[in-house]
Chains A and B, each alone.
Chain A
Amino acid sequence: MKASARLVVELDSHGNSVVRVLRSQTPLTLVPARRVGPTALVHLVSSVTSPLGGDALELTVEVGPGASLDLRGVAATLMLPGPTGLPSSSLVRFSVEGSVRYLPEPTVVTSRAHHTAVVEAELDGHAELLLREVLVLGRAGESAGILSSTVRATRCGKPLLHQQLSVGTPSIDSSPAGLAGKRVIGTALMLDEVPRASDGGEWWNLVPLAAGGTLATALGEDVVTVTRVLDAI
């Protein structure tokens, strides 16, 4: 299934963030919350089982100056193989002049899934972006399929973070220099002007990026532990 969706949020004359364009297509359904306020809330709903092998999903999000958007998932995403054996892909593109919080629910990479996920974000001088991702390597007792998840964030064209996370290669997943055998990986990218001191514990840390912003990373055995670490930051 190929699908593309587009979401545009702008600030109106009353200081409310309003959804100006909302175009979605099965299986990528965007559901705006019925509320008026400084932050628009939109849920990203997968209206049929997706992504399946062969799917190509694309979402473009534009947030204008002064506007603020919370884009949330509603349920965990289960990446599954399709009947064709083809890989699946997703591309989410943010163009931010205001502020965005993108908080999808955890993604489970089931065995035999083969997915490529890309998130690209371009921010202007004062734009803010919070992006959280939690990946689970397989359902309980299952080994992970193949996933490549890439995030590239730029501010005025200058790169802030460009990172590809690859799971599904057993020799790297189990390596102390790869994923150290942990089943859950959580990251929270915070591109804003809030200063945060470096901090960390055995399997998590919070680090300042070279060109501004902060990245939190946590590895763990289960979603609850990893989510708790990210929530505490």
Chain B
Amino acid sequence: MLTALILADSRFPGGGHVHSGGLEEAAARGLVTDEPSLKSFLHGRLLTAGLLAAGFAAAAARGEDLELLDLELDARTPSPAQREASRAQGRGMLRAARRAWPSPRLSSLPASPHQPLVIGVLVGDPYEAALTCAYLAVSGPASAAVRLLGLDPFGVNAIVAALPVEEVAARAGKELPALGSPALDLLAEAHVRREGVRLFGS
């Protein structure tokens, strides 16, 4: 449980703070401007990308073959920008984990692993791993919204607290999800193509 808390803490030095999960692009296009539109974005993200990531974290925690999971998650992530964002965050998390929780199981991960696999291996319990992953799928974009749009941190926190994160984590453990989000894929790729100043890596 403590590992899950540390991984979900925004203080954790895994590099997650540079990723907005598509929120920066959505904000730049005026798709997310206020609390209601942020709530809609986070809800959609949790039930698509969040569920997918949580399912893979749970499977990794159950001890399933990590190489196979890595291939299956690639096949469920058509956007190269999203694959790279997931692997960049996986690498960052792994770097911090090697110091904090050295374990032989860490070396069974692929060289540049997807983040949900790292979470699954570190947390160990399938439900807690899924919960951590589902929460991270919305907490990063939520704090990005506070920084980018100047939204009220109390209002944004209340939105995150009301999201069905636990329900998604419980569903994620049943079978490997494959739910896509066409709009998130388009936003992720457009973010990479966008010229000019970007605060976030994804």
Contacts and interface: CB of A to CB of B under 8 A. Distances in A.
Given A162-B178, A200-B186, A219-B182, A172 B48 contact: yes
Interface in B17-56: 22, 26, 29, 31-32, 37, 40-45, 47-49
A105 B80 CA distance: 29
B93 to A, nearest CB: 20
A29 interface: no
The interface residues of chain B, by DSSP majority, are classed as helix
Contacts, number: 119
Contacts of A158: 71
Contact of B48 (A161, A178, A185): A178
A171 B40 contact: yes
Interface string A184-197: 01010000000000
A207 B189 contact: yes
A211 interface: yes
B62 interface: no
A210 B181 contact: no
A160 B75 contact: yes
B179 A164 contact: yes
A34 to B, nearest CB: 38
B184 interface: yes
Which 6 pairs of residues, A with B, have the shortest CB-CB distance?
A175-B44, A177-B44, A159-B75, A178-B44, A210-B74, A177-B45
Interface of B: 22, 26, 29, 31-32, 37, 40-45, 47-49, 71-72, 74-80, 83, 177-187, 189-190, 193
5 contacts: A163-B76, A171-B44, A177-B22, A209-B74, A210-B77
